[in-house]
Every structure is written in C-alpha cells, then in structure tokens.
Amino acid sequence: MKKLIAMLCMAAALAACDKGPAKQSFINTDLTGLSYAEKLSLNDHTGKPVTLDTYKGKVLVVFFGYTQCPDVCPTTMAEMAGVMKELGPRADQVQVLFITLDPQRDTRELLAQYVPTFDKRFVGLYGDAAQTAAVAKEFKVIYNKVEGKTPDSYTIEHTAGSYVFDKNGKIRLFLRHGQGPGPIAHDLKLLLS
C-alpha cells in the first residue's frame, strides 16, 4: 500500500511538472465565441466608407459615444491614449474607433477635429440616424437622448464600455469604463502576441 501511495504521489508530481507555463488570461470580460457585433458599415472622419474588414490584421477597439459627452467619452478616449503609450511600438497594431451616437451634431468635420486630438491614429466613424441605430443594435449598445434646456443642449445616455476584436476580426473582449490603461494594455498585449 505504501508503495502504491508513493507511486501515485510521484505521478502527481510529474504531471504537475509537465503542465508548462501557466496560460495568461484576460482581465476584462471575455466575449470569445459570441455571435454579435459582426457587422459595421459607416464612414470615417475623412469620408471613406469602412467596415470591420477594413481593419483586419489589427486589434480593433470600438467605443460608442459623442463629442459633447461631459464625462465618459473624453475619459475613455484619454484612457485609450494612455493604453497606446503603454503599448509603445506595438500600438501601431491597434486601431481605436470612436462611433458617434449623435449624428445630428457630430459632423464629419467635428469628428476629424475631436477624435485625433487624443491620438493621431484614432478614427471617428459616423452614419445617419438609421445607420447609427443599426450599428448600435448589432453591438447591443443602449443609448437614449435626454432633452436639455434648449433643443441643441441634449445629452445621450449610453453603454459605457468598449469592444475589442482580434486581428481576424472576431469579437474577443468587453472593456469596462474607468479601469485605467494597465488592465486594457495587458489584455491587448495578449491579443497581439
């Protein structure tokens, strides 16, 4: 019996040695294998039509917001600029897209001024109201116009998070708002390796 126990202990020890390095896992919400956010058809802030296929070969980060957002949108964009700095030269393999939920006020020209101020590589996307609604529905983004004191002073409540796609154009992650660049950079490095 002692011999059997000794053999089992030795087998367990050898099995533990054979596992190799531990696989790193994502910090953010893993969406791998889910079947939504598969289509996107809008124009970029230079006026060119784009789809998800436009950015195949890069890790893609997609955020929905609007330029007059008082808090979530500018902090998310600043956070992503911090991520790009943390990635260093690997940042050129990442594309950040800002999709406006406010096509009424966010013109191509305004997006062209606003989005690249955070990082010159960032791209703003826009469409008409119907295109915007279709893309938001495809990504399961909830948004709602909240009237202001004047017709043009409304705000938009919206999903506060970003979606990440791998280099093959498959959805992989949902990034929570306000976590800082570190956890995001960690997960993007995994997708880049």
What residues are designated binding site for Cu cation?
69, 73, 158
The one-letter code for the residue type at 80 is M
Give the DSSP per-residue string, 54-87. Answer: GGTTSEEEEEEE-TT-SSHHHHHHHHHHHHHHHH
Please give the annotated binding residues, written as ranges.
Answer: 69, 73, 158
* Torsion sign across C-alpha atoms 53, 110, 77, 85: positive
Cα–Cα distance measured from residue 175 to residue 183, given in angstroms and rounded to the nearest whole number: 9
Cα–Cα distance measured from residue 192 to residue 190, given in angstroms and rounded to the nearest whole number: 5
Residues 100 and 124 sit within 8 Å (Cβ to Cβ)? yes
**Residue 170, both tokens:** 């498959």
